[in-house]
């Protein structure tokens, strides 16, 4: 719909149309997942060492791969990430100085927009990892249910118009990936140190406002 104000026309979607548009976004999100993850890192850090950037992507990629049906193996992922950095530098989104990758302050808005592609996915990961870190012996079914409930609350508080954000199936896929990657033991309980390390990585990639919301909901789940 088009609205006018004193500065001109404003084009927007109503809530129903916004939800329908997520279908098209979800069909292409895998194409932007890695560039978006790099952009998200540099949204919250002015610069990062190349090895740290690569380690973060490698750590999160198995979770993204399972959810978004991506196909890179370890070798091709590294090549793709190298190519992504070259292209982002060509577009002046980042500055590469030896082994240091920095954001271009003049392009921060573009980086933030690119980072938003993967932001909701990371927020869902943060929900589950926060719950698991707090209660490592929680059963898989209980964790799926609690994650879904927290995601519903988060979506209302932060205006996320995407039904899949709190779809139980995506949390089930995440937990299966965590098991395959060794974050769970044979009883499907969290390996505390590994889960906490992953939680810290993910929390560093979401906004402080969302972090506080997750922590608040976790502290007062019945409210």
Q: Which one of 144-148, 153-157, 194-198 scores highest in mean pLDDT?
A: 194-198
Mean pLDDT for the chain overall: 86
Structure tokens, 49: 């060492």
Find out whether 126 and 199 touch, Cβ atoms under 8 Å.
yes
Rounded mean pLDDT of 92-115? Answer: 97
Task: Quote the pLDDT of residue 223.
Answer: 46
Provide the percentage of residues in the chain whose pLDDT is more than 70.
86
Task: Quote the pLDDT of residue 107.
Answer: 96
Q: How far apart are the first and last CA of the chain?
A: 36
Find out whether 9 and 2 touch, Cβ atoms under 8 Å.
yes
Rounded mean pLDDT of 192-214? Answer: 91
Q: Give the helix/strand (H/E) hosting 28.
A: helix 15-44
Distance from C-alpha of 153 to C-alpha of 171, rounded to nearest angstrom: 15
Q: Please determine, for residue 123, whether its predicted confidence score (pLDDT) is greater than 70.
A: yes
Rounded mean pLDDT of 69-97? Answer: 95
| In the block, residue with structure tokens 């932060």 | 158
| In the block, residue with structure tokens 């895998």 | 30
Least confident segment among 25-34, 39-48, 110-119: 25-34
Q: Which one of 153-162, 166-175, 194-203 scores highest in mean pLDDT?
A: 194-203
Q: Please determine, for residue 66, whether its predicted confidence score (pLDDT) is greater than 70.
A: yes
Task: Quote the pLDDT of residue 85.
Answer: 97
Domain residue extents for the chain = 2-219
Beta strands in the chain (DSSP E): 2-5, 8-11, 47-49, 94-97, 100-103
Task: Quote the pLDDT of residue 92.
Answer: 97
Q: Please determine, for residue 71, whether its predicted confidence score (pLDDT) is greater than 80.
A: yes
Distance from C-alpha of 88 to C-alpha of 92, rounded to nearest angstrom: 6
User: Which band of pLDDT confidence, cut at 50, 70 and 90, is reported for residue 199?
Assistant: very high
176 Rama class: left (phi>0) / alpha (psi -120 to 50) / beta: alpha
């Amino acid at each position: 719909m088009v609205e006018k104000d004193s500065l001109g026309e404003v084009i927007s979607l109503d809530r129903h149309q916004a939800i329908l548009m997520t279908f098209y976004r979800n069909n292409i999100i895998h194409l932007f997942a890695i560039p978006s993850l790099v952009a998200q890192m540099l949204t919250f850090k002015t610069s990062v060492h190349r090895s740290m950037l690569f380690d973060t992507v490698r750590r999160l990629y198995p979770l993204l791969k399972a959810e978004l049906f991506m196909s890179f193996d370890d070798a091709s992922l590294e090549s793709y990430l190298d190519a992504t950095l070259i292209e982002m530098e060509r577009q002046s989104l980042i500055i590469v100085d030896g082994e240091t990758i920095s954001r271009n302050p003049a392009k921060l808005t573009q980086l933030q927009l690119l980072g938003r592609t993967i932001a909701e996915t990371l927020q869902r990961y943060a929900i589950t990892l926060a719950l698991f870190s707090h209660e490592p012996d929680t059963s898989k079914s209980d964790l799926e249910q609690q994650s879904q409930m927290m995601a519903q609350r988060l979506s209302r508080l932060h205006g996320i118009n995407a039904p899949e954000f709190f779809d139980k199936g995506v949390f089930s896929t995440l937990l299966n990936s965590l098991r395959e990657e060794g974050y769970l033991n044979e009883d499907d309980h969290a390996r505390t140190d590994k889960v906490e390390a992953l939680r810290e990585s993910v929390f560093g990639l979401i906004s402080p406002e969302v972090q506080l919301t997750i922590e608040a909901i976790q502290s007062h789940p019945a409210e």
